[in-house]
Structure 1
Amino acid sequence: MQIKEIDVDELQSRLAGGEDIRLLDIRSDAELNVGMLPQAEHLPMHLIPLKMQEFRQAPQRQVVLYCRSGARSAHACAYLMQQGIDNVINLRGGIIAWAQQGHEIRPRG
């Protein structure tokens, strides 16, 4: 199973262009102290199985998952795809790559 990925510049461009993308930060509560991507919602990875219905409600809307480095979010995307949800995309490199490219990180709030 091949997971879909997006790089930070493409994501930034698509968000700036107003695309309707659901952006999910799947890191732990403690990890959010360094900030989040603008427009992101927090959904800790361990709660994803409890929120399956939310993913099924809008199958046409793309959902980008990210974590610190992209590894956990890749696993989460694979899990969701195994459950029949195919509108999920992993942010390659996670928030680390986002910050390295100089894109905005907002305080948790």
Structure 2
Amino acid sequence: MADITSDELKQRQQAGETPTIIDVREPWEFEESRIPGAQNLPLGTLPEKLDDLADLKDQEIVVHCKSGSRSSAAKAYLTQQGFTNVRNLLGGIQGYQA
């Protein structure tokens, strides 16, 4: 699945769409700033949280971090685990807040 830009995500949110957004940063980073509606699942916890995400295997999931590196790894991992519609937020939260 193609990655998503900050502008596209913001437009969709303004239109009332609510894609599942997973912030893979650490909890202290999530506390400092967050995208509305995002849930915090740090990258290192994804393997143990797979069962919690099982219902989302075929739904759109937007993953993000600070700049896009960790979320790129999260997208690759989730895709390897059978998730079919994972999109990385290009530029991460830095791009979203710019």
The TM-score normalised by the length of structure 2 is 0.90
Q: Does 1:49 align with 2:33?
A: no
Q: Assess, with a 3 A threshold, how the Cα gap between structure 1 residues 84 and 64 changes in structure 2: closer, same or farther.
A: same
Partner in structure 2 of residue 106 of structure 1: none
Report the alpha carbon displacement of residue 30 of structure 1 after superposing the two structures with TM. Answer: 2.1
The structure with the largest alpha-carbon Rg is: 1
Q: 1:74 is matched by which residue type in structure 2? A: S
Distance 1:55 1:42 in 2: 13
Report if the CA contact (8 A) 1:20-1:62 is conserved: no
Matched, 1:71 2:48: no
What is the CA-CA distance between 1:16 and the residue it aligns to?
1.6
Structure showing the higher strand proportion among its residues: 1
Counterpart position of 2:34:
36
Gaps of 5+ in 1: 101-109
Contact 1:55 1:85 in 2 (8 A): no
Question: 1:96: which partner in 2?
Answer: 94
**Once the 2 structures are TM-superposed, how far is the Cα of residue 47 of structure 1 from its aligned partner?**
0.9
The one-letter code of the counterpart of 1:77 is: K
Mapped partners of 1:56, 1:87: distance in 2:
13
Find the aligned partners of 2:56 and 2:71 in 1 and give their Cα distance: 20
Give aligned pairs, total.
98
RMSD of equivalent CA atoms: 1.4
Q: Aligned partner of 1:83: which letter?
A: Q
Structure 2 unaligned blocks of 5 or more: none
Which of 72, 76, 85 aligns to 1:87? It is 85
SS of the residue corresponding to residue 4 of structure 1 reads coil
